[in-house]
Amino acid sequence: MVNPESVRSEFAACFGDAEGVRFFRAPGRVNLIGEHTDYNDGFVLPCAIDCDTVIAARPREDSIISAYSTNLHEEGSFDLAHAAEIRKGYWLNYIEGTARVLERKGFKIGGADIVLESDVPVGAGLSSSASLEMAVAMTLVRLGNQPIDRKRMALACQEGEHEFTGAMIGIMDQFISAFGEEGMALLLDCRSLETVSIPVSLEHHALILCDTGVQHDLAASAYNDRRNECKEAVKKLSEFIPGIRSLRDVSEAKLRAFGGELPDVLFRRARHVISENTRTLAAAQALRDRNFDVLSELMYASHESLKMDYEVSAPELDLLVDTARTIPGVFGSRMTGGGFGGCTVSFVERDRVEEFTLRMKAAYKQGFGRDLSIYNVKIVRGAEELTNGE
């Protein structure tokens, strides 16, 4: 986790002193299974991890929000009293989008001086953007001494990202950053937004992330193309299955019956989403039962579906998953996040972690000539204010 004291020092350097500063954090996340299902009203199984965005903040008397990023060594500001000016690719969009949508949804948002630092790897599929947005939301809501409404805040963060970055992401990332629980994954129904806490036993297994270092941009056309393809599949299937609103409403049996009416690409997109929902529910039960053998099969099947049917994997991800299959003590591995790069997630027996690390690094170096970053993560609670910076 980011050290709040270092953020305090940066705040004093930026704004003259750190008197009256308050601290807030929000985590990144790893999705154990349930990829590209959230914007199809489906099921996901993420957990919050011990990589955070930490903010030091102090309210202002005016309506200006002034922010400094220690990671980028950049500062920026905007005035809530003036119309927004969206600049493509600008990091401040995530902050301004969150602030303006919160205000539009009835939260009283005032000016603030903000310094932020994050150790969520950018572009790794671990939701650095949602971590930033939820940290900003928690900051602005609590600086106004307003009650925390995590659901409304998460929805505001999602809407702000849609409007200010063009990435039409689902609700999973913001929701788990808001609602994460220590030691728990969250089985989220992305239609009803109902959740079930699923214990993740890490007594004998470690949760390991392997970061390819290949960055992806969720605002790029490939991500939004997949979303549009799913909508088109629903539109065509609705001619044969009345009343469906999303791929969530299509069973595997119905797809077998009517999938032949779809172009091949749309059929494969639909098959991934529909089968991934089934796998996600089964994985939640496997975790309840501590049945890592079943969980392993589901994770590998998920990756294969993402690779072949949804076509969002990458050679680097495929090599890591294929290598993990050959290492004793690995119970499942798959790409996690939007795809086209980022991380794999694997469950590894604790006494095999060192061997896993050495073999994965060696395979990646041999395959791509680059070093592989590996994280042994903990499952933590969601966004909060830090008392006395702790």
Per-residue burial over 355-370, b if 16 or more Cβ lie within 10 Å, else e, is: ebbebbeebbeebeee
**264 in catalytic set:** no
In angstroms, the Cα distances linking 374 to 206, 207, 252 are: 12, 11, 36
Quote the CA–CA distance of 203 and 349 in Å, as a whole number: 9
Quote the CA–CA distance of 390 and 388 in Å, as a whole number: 6
How open is the CA angle 74-222-313, to the nearest 5 degrees?
Answer: 95
Residue 162 main-chain phi, psi, to 5 deg: -55, -50
- The residues, ordered by sequence, that sit 6+ positions from 357 with a Cβ below 8 Å of its Cβ are 208, 374
Q: Position of tokens 């659901």?
A: 151
Burial (CB < 10 A; 0-12, 13-18, 19+), residue 119, is middle
Per-residue burial over 130-159, b if 16 or more Cβ lie within 10 Å, else e, is: bbbbbbbbbbbbbbeeeeebbebbbbbbbb
CB 146 within 8 A of CB 98: no
Tell me how crowded residue 289 is: count the other CB atoms within 10 A of its CB.
10
Catalytic residue among 52, 173, 211, 309: 173
Active site residues: 173
